[in-house]
Structures are given as C-alpha cells and as structure tokens.
Amino acid sequence: MKIWIGMSCIAFEALLLSATAQADPFLAPQMRIAAPSNIVPVVVFGKNSRETVDQFAVEHKLDAKDVRHAHAASGLIECGRAHGAGQLTLSDDVVTSAAHVFFDEAGNPRAKTCIFALEIDGNPVRVPIDPSTIVAGSTDPYAIAAVHDWAVARLAHPVSGVTPYGLADAPAANLPVEFVARGHIDWGEGRRLSMENCHLHDQLEVAAEGTREFSFDCETGDGASGGAVLMGADQMKIGAVLVGWRSNRPMAAMPFSRTHYNFVVSIEGAFRKAVIAAAAGHKVLVAK
C-alpha cells in the first residue's frame, strides 16, 4: 500500500509526494517526488465544512464585518510561480508560514523576492517580504521530517490597519481549533478566505527545536500551507500552521483516519522564539 504525502504549497500545478506506508503512517517518512503533476489533491473528510466569512458569521451569529476585520491578518505569500498562506503574527511586519512556501523541493528559494498579499477593508494590499529575514526550521523542508517545516519573515514595511494574531498557549491533542487561511486552489480562485472549526488530534512527532506535529481534521487544499490554526477562548491567537496532508486516497472525500488526515506544526520552541525575536526587530540566523 502507498500513502500519498503532500506539502500544501502550490506552484500553479499540484506537486504530489509519495512514500511507502510505514506501520504507523503518522510517522513522517523521507519524501520524494513521485507522482504526476496533473493530480490536484483536496483532502476532506466527507462533508466539506470550509466556509466563507459570510457563511461563518451567519452560522455563529456574528457580524460579517467584524469577522472579516478580525481575520484581516490572514493573507497569501506569493513566491514566483508558487503561493502559500501566511499571516501577520505578533507584529504588523512579521509573517508566519511553512518553510516550503519559501523553499522548493531542491532546497532553493522559490523566488528572489516574495510578496505578502492581503485585504484591508476590501482593498488589496501587497507588501514585499525581506528575504534576508527569513528564519526557517529548515531551508530544505522536503528532505527532512515535516515537523521542521515552519518559517518566519519580516515585511519590507509594516502594514497599518490590521491587528496581527497573538501567540496562543501550547496546543494539545483533541483541542478545538479554528483554521483560517487563504490559498486553497479549489476555493475562490485561491484567494478567498476560508474558515472552519475543527480539532487537533494526535501528537505525531516532536522536534529537538521544540516544535510538535499534530494531525487535525479541518479540510484543506493545496495552496493553503502556512495557514493559521487558531486556538484559545476567543480563538484569535495562533498556535500552529498548516503544513500538509497524508492520504492513501487524496482525491477522495473520506472520514478522518490514520491514513487520511491533514497535519500542522506548532508555534513552540525555536519557531516561537523566532517570531518573538522578529517582532522585537532582532536578527536570527537562518536554519540550514
């Protein structure tokens, strides 16, 4: 049996990665390119529960304008022909995301300059990311365990009129969360904000740098890597970012299981320290 493994960044064509299933598929094996590029995986668990801002507001009896403003920090990171999700975190000039949004399968930067794109009161805003400030769990994220697939970067200048996400307390298994991201290639042309309540499930791996990997049961599509996993009483603080999915049938809508799930990396340890340092304007060495 094969279990398909994908990083959810998209470069205008789906990139699938495969590895032989382990006895415990929750263990992230080494990844290698193996699948044709014309397959677009969208990992869902039966009913697709992603919602627009307006749908989410109606279901939870909230004001759509307030919801849109509360999540204005969520945007896209565009790097050459690729894009992923990212969000202002702790500061108006710091973004968090996944490392593979910035670095390709060969460990090379996807572009000389990446752009953070977001909407403020319905108006598009595009701000360059300073490539010299990128700090990552690995600059070769496809070659090592996914628990190292995190990144922090500073913008060329602050974004005004947006409230950045704060940092949540440490996540835990079976914790209720809210997944908020742009970038799903099958959703609003890859730009519309998607929102959904779901749960973290099992803790899968712990890195020496202090980050942890959890499975979770929110629906995702390629292009949403790096999106915000929010938690806490008001679910307005970020505790993890989406990294990818693992499935033996990535094109099928099936129940969440040990062979069909999405996974996230927690903002803890070195990841958290990098966010705090960037927000304070301190420089941190980029991981190799």
Return the CATH number at 254: 2.40.10.10
Let me know whether 117 and 254 are in one domain. Answer: no
Query: Is there a domain that residue 79 lies in?
Result: yes
Residue 189 has pLDDT above 90, yes or no: no
Q: Are 202 and 171 a contacting pair, CB within 8 Å?
A: no
My answer on whether 38 and 175 are in the same domain is yes
Say if residue 125 is in the same domain as residue 86. Answer: yes
287 domain residue, yes or no: no
Provide, rounded to the nearest whole percent, the portion of the chain with pLDDT above 70. 83
Q: Determine, yes or no, domain membership for 284.
A: no
Rg for the chain, CA atoms, rounded:
17
State phi, psi for 68 to the nearest 5 degrees: -60, -40
Task: Please enumerate in sequence order all residues whose Cβ is within 8 A of that of 248, keeping only pairs 6 or more positions apart, or say none.
Answer: 1, 2, 3, 4, 21, 259, 260
The mean predicted confidence, pLDDT, of the chain is 84
- 134 and 83 assigned to the same domain: yes
Mean pLDDT of 152-169: 96
What's the confidence (pLDDT) of residue 153?
97
- Tell me if 237 is assigned to some domain: yes
pLDDT band at 6 (very low <50, low <70, confident <90, very high): low
Pairwise pLDDT comparison (233 vs 56), residue with the higher score: 56
Say how many C-beta atoms besides its own lie within 10 A of residue 137's C-beta.
25
Residue 222 located in a structural domain: yes
**Residue 190 pLDDT:** 80
Residue 26 has pLDDT above 90, yes or no: no
Which range marks the domain in which residue 76 is found? Answer: 65-165+271-279
Question: Do both 174 and 140 map to the same domain?
Answer: no
pLDDT beyond 80 at 18: no
- As a whole number, mean pLDDT of residues 146-173 equals 96
Residue 103 lies in a domain: yes
pLDDT attached to residue 9: 56
What was the pLDDT predicted at 34? 30
| Angle subtended at Cα 210 by Cα 153 and Cα 199, rounded to the nearest 5 degrees | 85
Would the pLDDT of 97 be above 60? yes
**Residue 236 one-letter amino acid:** M
Q: What value does the mean pLDDT take over residues 114-141?
A: 95
The whole-angstrom separation of Cα 210 and Cα 217 is 23
- The answer on 249 and 113 residing in a single domain is no
Q: Is the pLDDT of residue 227 over 70?
A: yes
Indicate if 35 and 155 belong to the same structural domain. no
For the residues 78-104, what does the mean pLDDT come to?
A: 96
Q: Within this chain, do residues 231 and 262 fall inside the same structural domain, yes or no?
A: yes
More confident position, 128 or 249: 128
Average pLDDT, stretch 151-158?
A: 97
Total number of domains in the chain:
2
Residues 6+ away with beta carbon under 8 Å from 209: 137, 148, 269, 270, 271
For residue 57, tell me if it sits in a domain: no
Instruction: Kindly state whether residue 246 falls inside one of the protein's structural domains.
Output: yes
Q: Are residues 36 and 172 in the same domain?
A: yes
**Are 116 and 200 in the same domain?**
no
Q: Are residues 184 and 160 in the same domain?
A: no
The alpha helices in 71-132, defined as continuous H runs, are: none
Residue 16 has pLDDT above 60, yes or no: no
173 and 41 within one domain: yes
